[in-house]
């Protein structure tokens, strides 16, 4: 565009698109976008994104139902380091959501009252019964 001293980018657009489509692409494994067709699209898709329909491995839940846990306390950056990081109250796992990725847990207290929401395994720590 600067060579022809014009600001009309619409005239240069087809040449730009053609140059992009005929350049090798590292995402496509060195193929040019114009080389992709319906015949090889599945192979290229698997090369870029992995096998179709392959389920990601789910992690085994860290806690089971009725396990005793403590919940982590949220601290700010000026909190004293010698104070405990977890609550004094011992809770129980009420429900394990295995379908969620990562696994999440619903907890209840000694009275059987459920806490609102679900918690990630990083927010809980197992304790011995007693």
Q: Is the whole model's pTM more than 0.95, yes or no? A: no
3-state helix, strand, coil in the chain (%, to 5): 20, 20, 60
* pLDDT-based confidence at residue 18 (cuts at 50, 70, 90): very high
Residue 101 belongs to a domain: yes
Residues 120 and 75 in one domain: yes
Phi, psi of 66 (to 5 degrees): 70, 5
Give the range of the structural domain holding residue 21, as residue numbers without chain letter.
Answer: 9-49
Residue-wise pLDDT for 51-75, tens only, equals 776 656 677 888 899 999 998 888 8
Residue 94 lies in a domain: yes
Question: Are 43 and 85 in the same domain?
Answer: no
Whether pLDDT at 108 is above 90: yes
Angle, CA 119 vertex, CA 71 and CA 106 arms, to 5°:
95
């Amino acid at each position: 565009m600067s060579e022809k001293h014009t600001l009309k980018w619409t005239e240069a657009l087809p040449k730009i698109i053609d140059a992009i489509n005929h350049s090798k692409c590292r995402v496509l494994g060195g193929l040019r976008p114009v080389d992709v067709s319906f015949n090889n699209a599945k192979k290229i898709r698997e090369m870029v994104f992995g096998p179709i329909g392959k389920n990601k491995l789910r992690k085994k839940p860290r806690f089971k139902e009725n396990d005793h846990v403590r919940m982590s306390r949220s601290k700010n950056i000026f909190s004293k380091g010698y104070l405990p990081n977890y609550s004094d109250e011992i809770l129980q796992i009420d429900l394990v959501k295995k379908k969620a990725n990562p696994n999440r847990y619903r907890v209840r207290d000694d009275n059987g009252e459920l806490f609102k929401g679900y918690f990630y395994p990083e927010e809980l720590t197992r304790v011995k019964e007693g």
